[in-house]
Amino acid sequence: MSKTIDRLPQDDNFRMPGEHEPQSEVWMAWPTRSDNWRYSGKPAQKAFVDVAVAIAKKTPVVMLVNDAQFANARAQLPAEIKVVEMSYNDCWMRDIGATYVINENGDRRGISWQFNAWGGLIDGLYFPWDLDDVVANKMLELTQDDIYQAPLVLEGGSIHTDGEGTLYTTEECLLHPSRNPEMSKGEIEQHLKNFLGIDKVIWLPRGLYNDETNGHVDNILHVVRPGEVALTWCDDQNDPQYQISRDAFDILNTEKDAKGRAITVHKLPMPGPLYMTEEEAAGIDHSEGMEREAGERLAASYANFLISNGQVVYPLLDKDRDAEARAVLEAAFPEHDLLGVNAREILLGGGNIHCITQQVPVR
């Protein structure tokens, strides 16, 4: 049985490992929400299956599913993917799942952040979010890891770490008034150091244009390995993403990481721009929080991939840019297997492959 730890992870010499470090499994959750996924998630479910099958080539996968969809998910997923019944509001495991930390003795524990559906009553995407807010604790019970309960509203997609003391995030998200308005930037940074065992935070100004998560870092940047990142890049001076990417590049080009290294930046092309079609919008139930209308610009990014045990599972989003993105990833990951998955259906829900997965490091 998991127990709650009263101390801080940093005091116990625990740190958040980088995504490039060994993983024991990856967790996902089944899409069903009719005001986010068209036709109550049926097209998205196929994409989630494809992602799970790709990951499972190297890493065991656990799929959460609500009771009404259990038989459907079990029938669609191969036998080697474990299906676990659990209640939740929506299926973004990166943000509702636990963040795991490890120490040099091979011990593992987990962090349960506070979750408010990307903005709470200010600009959250749905209400209620109470089921999502307890997923991390349930996950840690199932993986049998002790729990650090963090006093911070934070989503896993808003942080990237290199496992060697450096954390990347965006001011747009972590300093947004809908997250922790009572805390200063310095106080938030101290919480990140206390809970993730990091030494330095590199703050990018903004995330991807029109990202409804208030600019999660994982949709504009991905840590390749210590001292190297992949960054969404835009060459169209008339596109709002143009300046956002250049501002991020300027920070990365001038900052050193926690170990004093200059940061190498791999420039990933921006797909599109891509927009929701009338047909796609027609299959989604209307709700107050989420913009799901024809013509809405989609926050599409090749940086929203997953590294897992020597392979990279990345989204296929734009036939005119997919090959170029793969070439950049091949240069960045010369020793990894690259697996592209058609991911537009995931994109329509507001995120991509990194957003729907949460890795559990090896104990």
Which position has the token pair 């390749």? 224
How many other C-beta atoms are found inside a 10 Å radius of the C-beta of residue 1? 5
Torsion angle, alpha carbons of 77, 129, 292, 299, to 10: -80
8 A C-beta contact, residue 28 and residue 15: no
CA pair distance 170, 203, nearest whole angstrom: 5
8 A C-beta contact, residue 195 and residue 150: yes
Enzyme catalytic residues: 355
Among residues 121, 48, 126, which one has the least CA distance to residue 356? 48
Going through the chain in order, the beta strands assigned E by DSSP cover 23-29, 61-65, 82-85, 99-102, 108-114, 146-153, 160-161, 166-170, 200-204, 221-225, 228-233, 264-269, 306-308, 311-316, 337-342, 358-361
Q: 3-state class of 61 per DSSP?
A: strand
CA 186 to chain centre: 24
Quote the tokens at residue 71. Answer: 């038989």
Bond prior to 273 in cis (omega within 30° of 0): yes
